[in-house]
Structure formats: C-alpha cells, structure tokens
Structure 1
Amino acid sequence: MSPRELECLEWSSRGNSAGDIGIILGITERTVCFHLNNARAKLGVGSLRQAVVPLTEVKFRTLSCCRFDGHRVKLIPPCARTQQG
C-alpha cells in the first residue's frame, strides 16, 4: 500500500470526509477517493469502514497529534490524546 493511501485511510479513520482529507493533504476530493478505493481493494474489503478497522485495532495513529476542524489542522495536547484512546 502506498504512503498516500495509508495517509488517506488514517484521516478517514478519524472521521474526516474525502473533501476534508483533500483540503488537509492539498489534493482533490476525487484523488482522495481514488486513494481510498485503491486501499480498500488492496485490503480486499468491501467498504471503507472495513478498511479502517485494522488501523484502529493496531493503534496505528501516526497523526494522533492532529485533528481537522473544517478549516485547519489543529494540534491536540498530549493529555487530550491519551483520553481519546
């Protein structure tokens, strides 16, 4: 799986829409969908929800310090990160 596919999956696992992910990464929503669909196919699952489950199961949180609020990426304080799981 490509780094960009993993990156898109990570942001999706945090509840961000394809449009939001596109803004965060500086790519189009269509490109985000392309990466998410490729990742889903490579994982051999039928839905995006199924694709992000492995990320949450193994606590793969490379972007755990960030959250997108619709306008910009915000840093999450360390104490808030531990409370979010």
Structure 2
Amino acid sequence: MLIENTLALYGSAFWLIIKFVTVIVGPALIVGLIISVFQAATQINEQTLSFLPRLIVSLLALMYFGPWMVTQILDEFNYLFMNIPILIG
C-alpha cells in the first residue's frame, strides 16, 4: 500500500469524524451558550440547569442526522471495499 493511499484514507476518515462531531456537538454547544447567557442575566447559579437541554438537543440532532451519518459511513465502507485491489496493490 502506498503512503499516498494511506494518508488519503486517514484523511477521509478524519474528516468524516469531524463532520459527525460537528453535527452532534454543535447544536448542544449553541444551546449551552444560550442557557449560560440566561443564567448570567438572571444570576441563577444552578449547574444542572443546562445539562438536560443539551442532552435533549444532542439526542434530537442524533435522531435527525442519524440517517445521513449512516449513509456517510456506508459510502466510506463501500469505497474501501470496492477498492481493495487498488489499495493493496
């Protein structure tokens, strides 16, 4: 296997993981920021207040983007499986 092929595979896997993390963590980060601003404005110092909304938003993002994520993983697997002779040759 050539080093270029190896680096290309690692690069595509890395960007796939970055896209997944961004899709799941991004909305939770935005909700956490909104709740933190609300807590600062009202001077509510409850640490557990932001946990449940962030959890719910993360689960909703996972439910909404789940089919897209599975499709991305299957596309990557199909690319790898179909190009086995090229990649190892």
**Normalised-by-shorter TM-score class:** under 0.3
TM-score, L = length of structure 1: 0.24
Q: Which structure is richer in relative contact order (CA contacts within 8 A, separation 6 or more)? A: 2
